[in-house]
Each structure stands twice: as structure tokens, then as C-alpha cells.
Structure 1
């Protein structure tokens, strides 16, 4: 599209010829996702030079990928991928006590999670949206860059006193009144 070309020229591109690509679009997409699984569909479409619907068709129907938690993953995972996923889940179980200790040291109130209702998490109501807003559209190359950006975002929310939206929600008050039970 014209907007894409304008953007490319503003970013320093000076040639109108397509970039060299090896193989068919699905081979290029597969190799791109092997390097970084956090691509947006529109970014992949611009990179390959096809419309985003074609990219979606290739990802879902030819490569068997689906997007989970902002990453494109194969629908069926290899044994290595399954073992990596298991190792991560094990690591998370060991960090919860560390996180709770840190929150206690900071004298932050730990809000209990209602049983069987992950969608009722207080952070889902207000905090995550405010935290993600300044980060929207940015890409990071390292884990450290992500941690730093999220940290600055949370500091800004705390400094401005904007992390109070859960107190204004009637449904959350019902959950508190029910003692965390199902409404």
C-alpha cells in the first residue's frame, strides 16, 4: 500500500524493488517465526509482501500455528518444546514465594485471587491495561529491555496514583462481599 511505502522511505529505504527472499512465502514465514515468534500478522505480511489474510491462511492452515500469549506457536508441539514448556511451568511454581516475600517487604497488599475465576483478577481490570498502554507497538530485543520497560511503566502508574481502578468497579465489590466466591 502507499502508506507502507511512505513508511519504508521515511525509515531510509531508497529502492522500490522487493527485498530478496528465499523460497515460497510459507517457508519464509516458518523461518521468520523460528527466529522470533512474536511477529504481528501485519508485520509478517509487509515482510513477505502479501496481504495479511494470506499470512493468516498460511500460518493456520499450512504451518499449523496459532497465536497464544502474543507468540505464534505450532499447534502440535515437538517433544523438545513440551519439555521447555514444562520447565518454565516448574520455574513459575518456585518463584511465587519469592514474589510474595518481595511484596510483603514493600508493604503492598496482596489481593487474593477468586477461586475458579481467573477473569476476576484485580490486575485484569485496571492495572494491566494501564501498564501496557505506553508499551503498545514497541518491540524489544532482550528480556532485560522488557523488564526495564515494564518496570518504568509500573513506576509511572504508582507515582501518578492511577492504580486504583479496581476500587471503582461494582462487580469487584460483589466478589469481595461474597468472600471471593462465584457471583
Structure 2
């Protein structure tokens, strides 16, 4: 059933007195993933409430710019203010203009853009931001005095839980689907209870040691390393957190292990497969991140 036919169904069910939630559920039950989205159903019900009778797209001029009228700009603006998560296709489907025109109205006429919420480890206080700036300045000064020596001597460590089962990420589970249908569904999976704590010591040349006990700081004291300052709540300034562990978790995504020994073997096999420049890249990235942290006044560095 194409979108015009679905609009006709929406109109019919609305005229029968059905609420938009019920209309959407009816379409979903019959058409499954190919049903119009809830937002689109909501918009069309609103259109019919306002007196619209046609289910066809509004007539378009041969000149695309004619769609950018004050009335259309106002209509698009009202729709977005009512639901800021609307997709371009949903706005275009309701207004009868192209997605390109919708994008033009939003970006050029209304000066709007769509942004995702940014997850951060913590909402930093002014004092915490200041500490991050001071630590970054101190580390950056030592780095720039002798870069080659710094990279040769720098050792970093961190701990991470490695589970017997780590679900695939959203990106890993992407699939090709037919045009007009929404994406496939996947049941929510959680990490297994069985897990191993891995303390990973590494430098620009590779892995130095993996200790499967949560006693990394004791090891550092025992080896008498000179510790660089590291601010709290700052995984964006820790090479293991922003470089090494995310790729490890991606590698483990979807794999299942029966024992702790199997987990340990998989972790060590992964690290052994990495090229030497992988480790150098992670440590060398600190210079840019320290500079960026200072530039942002201590706020988090995204990438």
C-alpha cells in the first residue's frame, strides 16, 4: 500500500472518530514496517482536523523556489515547534513539498539545524573545568619540550570490564532493507553478568602487560613510574578510554564466551592483532586533545 492509499485510510478512520494512536496502531498491525510513521499519522490527522479534504500532495510549481512562500515557511516552523524530532520526509509528506525545499526552509529561512543530544560523563563544575585546563597545560608543556622522548617514555593504563557477552552496537546491527520500509527491529540485549576486569598497560609500541585483577594503581606504584596529572571525570583525556577500549568493545560485540579464560584469550588475541602504529596514534592524539580542552575552557573534547 503506497503513502497516498495510507493517507486515505487515515482520513477514513479519522472520519469514523478513531483517535490518531488507534489509527497508527491499525496501520502498523496490517502493514508492519511499511506503515507510515506515528509522526506522519499525527500530522495528517491534524491536517484533516483543519479541514483538509485531499490526500494528494499539494500542487507544486515548475519552479521549486515557489514552495518557499511565507505561508509555507510559517507552516513548517509551526510543525517543528510542535515536534522537534520530525524528519524531513515527514514534513515533506504532510506539506506536499520536496524534502529539498523543506531542508532549504529549515536551514536557510529559519536558520535551524538538527542536533543529537551529546552524552557526557558528567556535567562539569567551573572548578572541575579549571582543573582540566591546568592538567592539560602541564601535560602539554612536558609533551612539547621533547615530543620524541615523551612518546618513547609515555605509558598509560586503565581498567575495563570485559563481559562474557557484549551485545552488538547499533552500527554493527545495520541491515539493507527495501525502499519504503523502516529499519529492522532487534530485541534489546544486555551485557552478561559474567565478566573479567582487565587492567591494560600500554605505550606507543604496543601492549606491555594485561593484568586481570583490579589493582592497576598498585602496579604503577610498585614500578615507580612518574605520574602525570589526570583530572577526574575525564575519559576524553585518557587514551585507553577514547582510543583503545572502544575498538576492543566493537570487536567483542556479538561474541559469546563460556568462561573467563575464553574472554581473556579473546582480549589478548585482539591486542596481538593490532598494528604498532595503532598505539602510537592513540598516544599522539593527546596533544590535540589537551590543546582542545584548553581552548574549550575545560569542557569535554568530542573527537
- Higher relative CO (Cα under 8 Å, sequence separation at least 6) belongs to 2
More helix by share: 1
TM-score, scaled to structure 1: 0.43
The structure with the largest alpha-carbon Rg is 2
TM-score, scaled to structure 2: 0.29
